[in-house]
A and B are shown apart, each in its own frame.
Chain A
Amino acid sequence: MHSYRAVLIAAHRLMQPELNQHHSATLGRSNTTTTRMFTRVVYSLCAACLVCGCDAPLASFSSNLLVANRLERQTGLDLSEQTEAVDQLLEHLFGTPESPRWPKCLESDVRTKSLISLDYLAQAAGPVRSDQADQHFGLFREHCVFCHGLSGSGTGPTSSLLNPYPRDFRPGVFKFKTTGSGVKPTKADLRNTLVRGIPGTSMPTFSLLKSEELEILTDYVVYLAIRGEAERRLLTELALDMDLTDGQPFWKPDWESTRPADYLAGLELAEQITQKIALAWAQPESQDNLVLSESDGIQLTNASRELDPGAVARGRALFNGKIAACSSCHGTEGKGDGAVRNFDFWTKDWTDGLDPDDREAIRPLRKLGALKTRPISPRNLQLGVFRGGSDPEDIYLRIVNGIDGTPMPAAALKPINPQGLSENDVQDLVSFVLSLSQNTSLGGNP
């Protein structure tokens, strides 16, 4: 919207006679007609731009103002200077949307060096174009930016129309993955979501893209997630652990020559945080070994791929029992009608300390770009369509690992928790969940 503002300012200046008179006097009387004509042309262009919009600059990532605001509420500090300093520091480390960069500290570490490809990063960023060899550039802007936004904030132009809202990558929390609760997804998990899409939502399948393009987008999502999480953690560290009472920014790019010690201290802090986050991304342990298959001896179904009535009955008991307690949210028949009103992590994150239903309290945050708060609903299991995949293996992983960012917890499992569920119990639960939708064919994606 910067360009709109610029156009409005230009139009406003043109409408102020004293400004124009000053210009006319400077130019001389003979130029008055030319000036007037020029003014008209500019007026017309302004009008055209107001009607049709302008290419607003996409030169920098937007700040995470909601997290800054939350921290300001928590600490009573004014973080505007620090937010700007964090933006500058992150630009130093991660570059811009036009020219992204992989931080040097990650490049020099063998564990994080190959986390993403620099060529892929360059190909995902920048404006959309393609060449005679059908190489596409600016893939993120071509496919993702309209919903997820330039910085991966999940508040792209179309976001407010979508239900559920697009994912905010910046906290580094993802729902559908093969890794444990609270663990980063593998790149294969992210790629899988791109290929499969999410049924019943606005997240499409990108199955028509080339394999390399999917890899490129996956790498860029990881890049945005690491950058976004570094921003959050840096802001949190500054607000909660550093003395900012003097109101001075903690870092400035031009301190390199004037205050080298402070410059390096700020840089070091940001690099430490970034490295820690990137390491978590570099080593997520996929629980692919938990994926069910008949060859593993884990059988949800009998040989004819029909549900075992015994397993279904046991699963029903567990579903409504106290240990799994699935019915407390999903309802006794799995219709998703059992839960009390709740919100997901992404909403709770910025509404912390506020009532998400209190429109007056939320209003100032909406002005900072927040989307309207929406409660999260437990899945209606009778639909037989699961957003993270409808295969028995997918459902098994959702039960065992929970769904990060949502109230769906990871099941307590034996032997870590002696009161928890055994592997067979989980299989029985999967059988019961599958039985809730009679028409679901086992093993088939929606």
Chain B
Amino acid sequence: MTASAVRFQAAFTPIVHRLAVLLTIAVFPLIWVGGLVTTYDAGMAVPDWPGTYGWNMFAYPISTWLFGPFDLLVEHSHRLLGSLAGFFSIGLAMAAWKYEERSWFRWWCIGILLAVVAQGALGGARVLLDQRTFAMLHGCTGPLFFALAAATATMSSRWWVEGAAVDIRNSGGTKGRLRWLSGLILIASYGQLVLGAQLRHVTGAVSHQTFLIFVHSHFTLAAVVLLLAILQGLIGSFSGRLPTRVAHPTKWLVGIVFLQVALGIGTWIVNYALPWQELNGWLAKYVIVSKGYWESMIVTAHMATGSLIISLATVVTFRAWRAAKVSNAAN
């Protein structure tokens, strides 16, 4: 049996794929703004939910939203972006239910809708109960939803449904190590994100000993993710021609892991100062600006890039598995 002769069970449905891509694109700024909510400690800038200061969320005056307090801008924007993701999820579920031939994928899309509802409810619980623990859980499940959205976009793509076989035929196939490795990166980077959420949502009740354990764990796992990414880059480079749709995100993933390490160092500096500030006068002069623009952007970018790594690792893992499956079926 040749690769091109592999039997596929469904036809490509553009509307489902477009909605899945839109959803994925919409979730990234949602995560960014959610990160800003944590960075600026703006989680309780709006005390009610799902309304905003008694208004229907969508009817809240634009003037106060955009030109009022910054914390309110960030929190309300996060809610509106969340609603947008919710609308895309509804559209996706409806389109999948109507047009999608794969029954499991229809249910998957229903699952996406339920997940977005659960994520919104968790955010609401954070506000109504005023619990940072829920904020932390919300912060941990947000990137999971981003990864699910990316997986949905991947599995609804033309490549997944029709094109994988062609891609594989034109390449040297995919190496088993790569899919396992990207899966490992996915798990490790999610662990990193959970540890990072512990650091970002810390309360005054946490002891310095516990916090130190989290910091050391975060550093150790960062080294693991970096090593895995380097290994993946090497395998990707030296294992012959990978399917294009696997090779490209792999390169991006490796590059973004390096960017994340740089952002992590930056986050340390803007939170805890330079490690060797006494080396010279220029370093010694540095004063951290509490809630300064660059300080906040670096910390938030570190969080958002963590989510991006998880989503990219999901895409690579799913595509590598798909390619391997098609390749095996072809052989």
Contacts and interface: CB of A to CB of B under 8 A. Distances in A.
A200 interface: yes
A225 to B, nearest CB: 17
A354 interface: no
Contacts of B201: 53
Contacts of B206: 1, 53, 56, 157
Q: Which of A127, A157, A196, A383 has most B Cβ within 10 Å?
A: A157
Nearest to A166: B208
Nearest to A196: B287
B71 A146 contact: no
B277 A205 contact: no
A356 interface: no
A130 interface: yes
B133 interface: yes
A228 interface: no
Contact of A134 (B68, B211, B285): B68
Dominant SS among interface residues on chain B: loop
Given A55-B131, A127-B130, A132-B72, A141 B290 contact: no
B288 A158 contact: no
B51 to A, nearest CB: 13
Contact of A199 (B43, B70, B130, B286): B286
Interface in A113-157: 127-134, 136, 141-143, 145-146, 149-150, 155-157
B64 A132 contact: yes
Contacts of A380: 278
B47 A129 contact: yes
A159 B197 contact: no
B204 A383 contact: no
Contacts of A200: 273-274, 277-278, 283-286
Interface size band for A: 35 or more
B137 A52 contact: yes
A446 interface: yes
Given A1-B210, A157-B202, A130 B71 contact: yes
A53 B198 CA distance: 7
A383 B211 contact: no
Contacts of B281: 382-385, 437, 439-440
Main secondary structure of the interface of A (DSSP, over half): loop
A156 B140 CA distance: 24
A141 B130 CA distance: 14
Contacts of A53: 133, 136, 198, 201, 206
A54 B278 contact: no
Interface string B66-110: 001111100000000000000000000000000000000000000
B202 A52 contact: no
Contacts of A48: 137
A284 interface: no
Interface string B45-63: 1010000010000000000
A440 to B, nearest CB: 8
Contacts of A134: 68-72
A199 B44 contact: no
A385 B285 contact: yes
A146 B208 contact: no
Nearest to B52: A132
B204 A156 contact: yes
B133 to A, nearest CB: 5
B2 interface: no
A369 B44 contact: no
Contacts of B291: 208
Contacts of A201: 273, 277
A209 interface: yes
Given A157-B202, A383-B281, A199 B210 contact: no
A53 B43 CA distance: 18
Contacts of B45: 129-131
B198 A161 contact: no
B207 interface: yes
B290 A204 contact: yes
Contacts of B70: 134
Contact of A51 (B194, B277, B285): B194
A371 interface: yes
Which of A51, A55, A160 gathers the greatest number of chain B CB atoms within 10 Å?
Answer: A55
Contact of A2 (B140, B205, B212): B205
A1 B44 contact: no
B215 interface: yes
A57 interface: yes
Given A53-B206, A200-B284, A206-B290, A130 B72 contact: yes
Contacts of A159: 208
B245 to A, nearest CB: 34
Interface of B: 41-45, 47, 53, 64, 68-72, 130-133, 136-137, 140, 194, 197-198, 201-212, 215, 271-274, 277-278, 280-281, 283-292
Given A155-B208, A204-B289, 11 more contacts: A52-B140, A53-B198, A128-B41, A130-B42, A132-B68, A156-B208, A162-B273, A200-B284, A202-B271, A209-B290, A383-B284
The 5 closest A-B pairs by CB, nearest first: A56-B205, A134-B69, A204-B288, A129-B44, A145-B204
